[in-house]
Amino acid sequence: MTTAAIISTAVFLISLGLIFSEKLHRTIIGFAGAVLMVGVGRWLGFYSESQAIAAIDFETIGLLAGMMILVSLLEPTGFFQFLAVWAGRLSKGRPVYLLVMLGSVTTIISMFLDNVTTVVMIAPVTILICEVLGINPMPYLIAEALLSDTGGAATLIGDPPNILIGSAAGLTFMDFILKSLPIVLVSWLTALLLLRILFRRELSTRPKNIKAILKLNPQEALDDGVTARRVLIVLGVAILFFFFSHYLAVSPAFIAIAAAAAAMIWVRPNVKDTLMRIEWSVLIFFAGLFVIVGGLNAAGVFDVLVQALAGLHIEQPLLFSILLIWVVAGLSAIVDNVPITIAMIPVIQGLGSTGMNITPLWWALVFGAGFGGNGTIIGSSANIIVACLSEKTRTPITTRLWSKSGLPVMLATCTVASILFAITYSWLSR
Amino acid sequence: MKIETCMKRNVVFIPFDTTIGDAAQMMVKRHIGILPVVDENNKPVGVVSMRDLLTLELPDFIELIEDLDFVHDFGAVETTRPGKKKLSEPVSTIMQPVKAIEEDGGLLRGYALMIQNDLYDLPVINKSGKLVGVVSRVDIGTTLLSNWSTVVQK
B84: domain CATH number is 3.10.580.10
In a domain, A193, yes or no: no
Cβ of B73 under 8 Å from any chain A Cβ? yes
Range of the structural domain that residue B77 is part of: 3-153
Domain total in chain B: 1
CA distances from B13 to A176, A318, B58, B114, B130 (A): 68, 76, 25, 19, 12
Cβ of B59 under 8 Å from any chain A Cβ? yes
Question: CB distance B64–A394 less than 8 Å?
Answer: no
* Among B71, B73, B78, B79, the residue to mutate for chain A (most A Cβ within 10 A): B71
Per-residue confidence (pLDDT) for residue B154, from 0 to 100? 66
Searching chain B, which residue's CA lies closest to the CA of residue A217? B70
Q: Sheet holding B14-15: strands in order across?
A: B14-15, B34-38, B44-49
Q: Which residues contact B49 (CB under 8 A, 6 or more apart)?
A: B33, B34, B35, B96, B119, B120, B121
Contact list, B72 vs chain A (CB under 8 Å)? 215-217
Percent of chain A with pLDDT over 90: 66
Q: Are A342 and A164 in contact (CB under 8 A)?
A: yes
In a domain, A9, yes or no: yes
CA distance A205 to chain B (A): 14
CA distances from B145 to A143, B108, B140, B151 (A): 57, 11, 9, 10
Dihedral sign for Cα atoms in the order A349, A351, A355, A360? negative
Cβ of A34 under 8 Å from any chain B Cβ? no
| Alpha-carbon span A146 to A410, nearest angstrom | 9
| Alpha-carbon span A335 to A326, nearest angstrom | 14
CA distance A194 to chain B (A): 28
pLDDT digits (tens, 9 = 90+) for B13-50: 999 899 999 999 999 999 999 999 999 998 999 999 99
Phi and psi torsions of B134, nearest 5°: -135, 140
Question: CB distance B76–A223 less than 8 Å?
Answer: no
Contact list, A389 vs chain B (CB under 8 Å)? 64
pLDDT digits (tens, 9 = 90+) for A73-129: 998 999 999 999 999 999 998 999 999 999 999 999 989 988 888 898 899 999 999
Give the 3-state secondary structure of residue A2: coil
Quick one: DSSP state of residue B98?
Answer: P
CA distance B117 to chain A (A): 23
Percent of chain A with pLDDT over 70: 100
Q: Which of B73, B57, B80, B64 is nearest to A134 (CA)?
A: B80
Bridge partners (DSSP) of residue B37 are B14, B46
Q: Are B134 and B122 in contact (CB under 8 A)?
A: yes
| Alpha-carbon span A103 to A84, nearest angstrom | 10
- Identify which has the larger pLDDT, A1 or B131: B131
Range of the structural domain that residue A36 is part of: 1-55+282-299
CA distance A88 to chain B (A): 12
In a domain, A10, yes or no: yes
Q: What is the mean pLDDT of residues A286-309?
A: 90
Q: How does the average pLDDT of chain A come out, rounded?
A: 91
In terms of DSSP H, where are the helices of B49-128? 50-54, 61-64, 84-87, 107-117
Percent of chain B with pLDDT over 70: 99
Q: Are B36 and B44 in contact (CB under 8 A)?
A: yes
Our CA angle for A256, A261, A263, nearest 5°, is 95
CA distances from A377 to A3, A380, B6, B46 (A): 37, 7, 56, 37
In a domain, A289, yes or no: yes
| Alpha-carbon span B135 to A47, nearest angstrom | 70
Question: CB distance B77–A134 less than 8 Å?
Answer: yes
The strand pair at B14-15 and B34-38 is best described as parallel
pLDDT value at A245 more than 90: no
> What is the Cα B148 distance to its own chain's centre?
28
Bridge partners (DSSP) of residue B101 are B124
In a domain, A19, yes or no: yes
Candidate from A127, A212, A218 with C-beta closest to B76: A212
Contact list, B76 vs chain A (CB under 8 Å)? 131-135, 207-209, 212
In a domain, A424, yes or no: no
Cβ of A272 under 8 Å from any chain B Cβ? no
Per-residue confidence (pLDDT) for residue B130, from 0 to 100? 93
Candidate from A124, A217, A220 with C-beta closest to B64: A124
- Lowest-confidence segment of A393-402, B2-11, B18-27, B138-147 by average pLDDT: A393-402
Q: What is the value of pTM for the model shown?
A: 0.85
Q: Using pLDDT thresholds of 50, 70 and 90, give the confidence band for residue A55.
A: very high
Q: What share of chain A is helix, strand, coil (3-state, %, to 5)?
A: 80, 0, 20
Per-residue confidence (pLDDT) for residue A303, from 0 to 100? 86
Secondary structure string (H, E, C) spanning A198-263: HCHHHHCCCCCCCHHHHCCCHHHHCCCHHHHHHHHHHHHHHHHHHHHHHHHCCCHHHHHHHHHHHH
In a domain, A349, yes or no: no
Searching chain A, which residue's CA lies closest to the CA of residue B61? A128
CA distance A1 to chain B (A): 53
Cβ of A281 under 8 Å from any chain B Cβ? no
For residue B150, how many C-alpha atoms fall within 13 Å in the half-sphere facing its CB? 5
Our CA angle for B36, B42, B43, nearest 5°, is 70
Domain total in chain A: 1
Cβ of A136 under 8 Å from any chain B Cβ? no
Cβ of A213 under 8 Å from any chain B Cβ? yes
Write the Ramachandran bin of B129: left for phi over 0, alpha for psi from -120 to 50, otherwise beta: left
User: What residue type is A343 in one-letter code?
Assistant: A
In a domain, A336, yes or no: no
CA distances from A315 to A318, A320, A346, A357, B135 (A): 9, 9, 21, 12, 85
CA torsion angle for A413, A416, A418, A420 (degrees, to 10)?
A: -130
Question: CB distance A223–B74 less than 8 Å?
Answer: no
